[in-house]
Structure 1
Amino acid sequence: MAKTALTKYQKLECSGLWRESVQSQRREVVANLGMTSLILSDPKCEVALAHWSLPAVKRLNPGEMPALFAPDASDGETLEIDDNEMITALQTVHSAISAARPHPGRLRNSFFGIIAFGVLAIGALWLPDALEKHTASFLPRSTRQAIGQEALADLTRLTGQPCSAKSGLAALEKLSERLFGPDSGVKIIILRTGLARAQSLPGRMIVLPESLLAEQDGPEAAAGFALVARISAEMTDPMIPLLDHAGISATFRLLTTGTLPETAIAGYAETLIAAPLNLPADSILLSRFEMVGLATSPYANAHDPSGETTADLIEGDPFGNVIPPALLPDGDWVSLQDICSQ
């Protein structure tokens, strides 16, 4: 019954007024009903402010409007909402969970048997892949960026700090805007050593090895690798393999509290680098490269100099017979090549 109620109202959200404690002022939040928790977020920056476990949520003023909800054992923490659909959803879920609880008077063994069955049922429904996907789908951009920065910090154990020459960073920002648009939020990062190919990190970060700049005559190959990495990230959320590395316990903590344990990402760099390459289909690449005005041949030749695995990208290059628009002015390309000089 609980599963049916949760499924019916999955991803329901509304605005509300949240008070963190008796002494706190009320503030506007967005309440998002997930499968296991009610997530309260700042509507301006999408930062998660609180996670309430659904079984703990109770209504303080039945029959009155606006409805006032609170978690068990709260220190004056409340949520005031007047959205009828959300109110009905919370009450339906609470009733379903209450009905599933054992009634007083049953044997202790039966009580523990129900708990064990519930744990096994949750494990069968959620763990591990579904829990990871569900958690990733609810993370606000700010949390993704913070986790991505932690993953980058772990990666720099092997690669050294990101290249940071000022003029090179400016050129890199221009390249990102040229490929993904000025409001995409995609950040390209260049690393000196330890990286053989482009990688995507949570928070729309793409890391590229310096060799893609040093060994090329122009920015087209590096741009191609960055574009392919972004397309791959759109198809497979880079948060998923990171949560798989962190483990079930850490993933559940992220879902319920909005944070990962301090050690959850440790060692992820080795896992990331060793992961098998999973490229999008050539037809997808040809379409996207043409869309952004980028030739596929420079990327294809750099990816496989033999041309055996990239023949379709070379033969089907949308700019094989014409010159595509310039990615960067010559001065910016020189600056980009020198990005690791400091």
Structure 2
Amino acid sequence: MATENSVTVLKHSLVPPPSSAVATAMSLPLTFLDMLWLHFPPVERLVLYEVPQLSRAHFIEHIIPNLEHSLSLTLQPFFPLAGNLIVPSNSNSGTPEILYKNGSSLALIIAECTTTDFNYLTANHARNCCDFHPLIPELKLSNQDDSGSTARTTPVLALQVTLFPDCGMSIGISNHHTVGDAGSIFRFMKTWAALCSKCLEDNIDRDDVAATLASDSPPCYDRTMIKDTKGLNSIFRDQGVVFLKFFQNESSTDTTTKPTTKTEKVRRSFVISRNNIEKLKNLARQKRPQLVHLSSFTVICAHVWTCLVKCRGPSGEQVDKGEVEYFYCLADCRGRMDPPLPSNYFGNCQTLIRKNEKMES
């Protein structure tokens, strides 16, 4: 099992946007779609790259400088990701915002792991959740911003690159959900990946590549396109305050730190082949011949939902016969807004889809 000591930190970097970046400051007030996530813990993701024969020397001398430089170039159009979430101490002190100021930077940790098997982490079998925790960076919380006020200040993004010698590397991502949904964060990650790949090529002007990628589809930060006609912004913020008061007797209300206790929870991957998907579709058509369109996403969600419900009783959970079961998923609303938002809108624009069904035992 991996422990905190299984990862050795080689370097702490603070990566700013390039000095030639146009923006020197930007304030992004939270829309009601952002405010919904204000008091949620950070979203944590881990991407593992298999790179056989990746030596420690090559990683330090070539990979890391390229990652740092391409990350700086990527922050030129995505500079709010180098900023902070500012939450005033009370609602009368102002509105929460994402604030980027000249000189802000993004925390990047460079680390090495020699005690955990890379193939064990990437396999499909059950793995203890604790084995992944050391590969994810923390979002460090500050109770005071630069102006000396008592506003809570939290970085919106932190990254950690971890080397597994002669096996590969991982990139751990921690981001506060208020800065953007998965579509926004992965747009940033894809731009970084494209820049990093281009910068590895010989005889290429890195700054020109960055400018080309940024101008191709620059992120849109226009918050005026989100119309809050029902006053949901203040409602969502007030609900968050109630949520925090409910837990005010806990030793800490800091939701940005990694868990310190061991867990028996495991993480396991399940591979559903194209052939399996077609079998699920055929089964669904037999039972619901009136269905006109049946997507792969629909049948996979239905299969997972059914499996989860069936395992509740055998796992020891008390389940009432005929109990209504709920299934939730998120849907992108950029194209469903009135008027529609551009696909490159950077922020949160999702809605919760709920399906309920009375399951038979």
Q: TM-score, normalised by structure 2?
A: 0.23
- Greater CA radius of gyration, 1 or 2? 1
Q: Which structure's residues are more often helix, by fraction?
A: 1
Q: Using CA pairs under 8 Å that are at least 6 residues apart, name the structure with larger relative contact order, 1 or 2.
A: 2
Q: TM-score, normalised by structure 1?
A: 0.24
